[in-house]
Chain A
């Protein structure tokens, strides 16, 4: 069965410090991978998505970046965190043909709660 891992679960970082969040997927090949952020009381904002190794699409201009060094690994990074980067970060995957026949169903990881002080 497919599983998705995210770590760390919680993170407290000072403003201006770097960030690296990692997400890995098991049990599937060639997934689409996504990074979302949920700010307090808000919905899910798509930050990045990737359809393959080294292919990254950015949705929102910001000081975050993403990389996909391996098929099932997705990394979210920042060189200098801002207060506004605080939130709940979620990684998700989808695969063509799973259940509904298209890429539309996504499977989410447990999330990382980031607090920037």
Chain B
């Protein structure tokens, strides 16, 4: 069974940084595009960033562009999200999710999420 496990969330002050990790198992990680999706408390889902399965192309929502950096280590089956200059509005549960294929927009597996709280 495909597994995605996020870690690295926590409480951080405004302007601070945090690095999220997503460990993947039971599939060929390097062959799949991966995304981060967040959900603010009591709110809906917001796509944050994606990393292509091949070619190393990255994509960002306008709300995080220039502050967040997505990366992946295919040798360790791990996806990362480096979050800098954090704001209160970045407070959310962050999910990593697998795209069905390299060019698919369907997120077929999700992790359990990790909570990021930005507060002074």
Instruction: Answer yes or no: are A and B bound together in one complex.
Output: no
Interface residues of A (CB under 8 A from B): none
